[in-house]
């Protein structure tokens, strides 16, 4: 059976660290003759049911830089739009390509794609998890930290208990950093994911006070208040999240060396102020750039494994 990246739990702690190290190597080798061509002769389907900027560009460019051929498919241009099942799509694509990146709505669709594909499937985003973005975030924190380590640091999540919050919880359970999430009531992260992480010994707190979460943190993270598919709830969410904007006062509660992180796109004046997003402590553009190297590292890791086991 192929290896997949449906969530970070599919990879394992040692493999996550390997992917982060590999991404740093690929970043250093970009544009140089020594850059690996590990996807030479291989094609990767990149399937989008949700709009995308960073995921689409980083996978497209990354596949090409590794010598492969990206086949970018928008659902509106495929039979998925006309009712062809995820299962049939997975079987069909597996005959053409060597891997599938899938960006969709319900996480069950990722699971169904992986269950029926005979090639690796990578979650490009679902409503429950966003592992590729989380790996880029970890890479960026390591680059900014004094010792390049994740163990023992404290990370804050401010806002919705969404797919990013769930992915941060998974990462905390696997890599040993402390995580505090500040979410409004009724917008907390998935209880099952939280319970599973705590059973693994994760130090994860869920609070309602954003200042409590930010206090002592070396990274303050947030995301939009209404994700794709939640547009009808936008006004309700604005009211619920009004006290969760990341501004200079909230950043002042964090560690003096703390950085601001956002997976983008950002809504200035809602979840973050213009001053923080464009300020000296913001590393959001580094995060966005690191998506490229993480996508390359994931593909390199999965497809090289496939060569070894084939």
62 and 31 in a single domain? The answer is: yes
Residue range 166-184, pLDDT digits in tens: 999 999 999 999 999 999 9
92 and 146 in a single domain? The answer is: no
Residue range 216-234, pLDDT digits in tens: 999 999 999 977 667 778 8
Quick check: is 1 in a domain? no
170 and 59 in a single domain? The answer is: no
Q: Which helix (H) or strand (E) holds 154?
A: strand 154-158
Q: pTM for this structure?
A: 0.95
DSSP 3-state of 179 = strand
106 and 18 in a single domain? The answer is: yes
Cis ω for the linkage preceding 265 (within 30 of 0): yes
pLDDT of residue 294: 98
Total structural domains within the chain: 2
214 and 298 in a single domain? The answer is: no
Quick check: is 3 in a domain? no
The residues annotated with a catalytic role in the active site are: 103, 130, 133, 223, 263, 291
Quick check: is 120 in a domain? yes
Identify the segments of the chain with pLDDT beneath 50.
1, 309-310
77 and 156 in a single domain? The answer is: no
Contacts (Cβ under 8 Å, ≥6 apart) of 248: 273, 275, 276, 279
With 0-12 CB in 10 A as exposed, 13-18 as middle and 19+ as buried, what is 122?
buried
Residue 44's domain is classified under what CATH number?
3.40.50.1370
138 and 78 in a single domain? The answer is: no
138 and 263 in a single domain? The answer is: yes
Quick check: is 119 in a domain? yes
Query: Nearest-5° angle of CA 27, CA 120, CA 101?
Result: 65
Residue range 272-300, pLDDT digits in tens: 999 999 999 999 999 999 999 999 999 99
156 and 226 in a single domain? The answer is: yes
Q: Domain range spanning residue 85?
A: 8-130+288-309
145 and 126 in a single domain? The answer is: no
Quick check: is 90 in a domain? yes
Alpha-carbon gap, residue 177 to 290, rounded angstroms: 20
pLDDT of residue 146: 72
Sheet holding 154-158, edge to edge: 204-207, 178-182, 154-158, 219-222, 259-262
Cβ-contact 34, 89 below 8 angstroms: no
């Amino acid at each position: 059976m192929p290896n997949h990246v449906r969530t970070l739990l599919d990879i394992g702690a040692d493999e996550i660290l390997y992917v982060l190290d590999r991404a740093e190597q690929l970043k250093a080798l970009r544009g140089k003759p020594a850059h690996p061509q590990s996807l030479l002769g291989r094609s990767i389907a990149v399937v989008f049911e949700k709009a995308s900027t960073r995921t689409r560009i980083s996978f497209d460019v990354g596949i090409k830089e590794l010598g492969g051929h990206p086949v970018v498919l928008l659902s509106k241009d495929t039979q998925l739009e006309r009712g062809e099942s995820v299962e049939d799509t997975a079987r069909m694509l597996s005959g053409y390509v060597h891997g599938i990146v899938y960006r969709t709505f319900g996480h069950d669709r990722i699971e169904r794609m992986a269950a029926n594909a005979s090639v690796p499937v990578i979650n490009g985003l679902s409503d429950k998890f966003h592992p590729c973005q989380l790996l880029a975030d970890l890479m960026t924190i390591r680059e900014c930290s004094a010792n390049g380590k994740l163990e023992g640091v404290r990370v804050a999540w401010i806002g919705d208990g969404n797919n990013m919050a769930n992915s941060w919880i998974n990462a905390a359970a696997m890599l040993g950093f402390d995580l505090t999430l500040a979410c409004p009531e009724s917008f907390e992260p998935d209880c099952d994911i939280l319970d599973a992480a705590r059973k693994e010994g994760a130090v994860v707190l869920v609070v309602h006070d954003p200042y409590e979460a930010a206090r002592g943190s070396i990274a303050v993270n947030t995301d939009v208040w209404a994700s794709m598919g939640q547009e009808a709830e936008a006004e309700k969410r604005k009211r619920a999240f009004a006290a969760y904007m990341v501004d200079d006062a909230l950043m002042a509660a964090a560690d003096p060396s703390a950085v601001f992180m956002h997976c983008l796109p950002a809504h200035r004046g809602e979840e973050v102020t213009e001053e923080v997003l464009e300020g000296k402590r913001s590393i959001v553009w580094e995060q966005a750039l690191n998506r490229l190297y993480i996508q390359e590292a994931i593909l390199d890791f999965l497809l090289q494994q496939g060569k070894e086991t084939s």
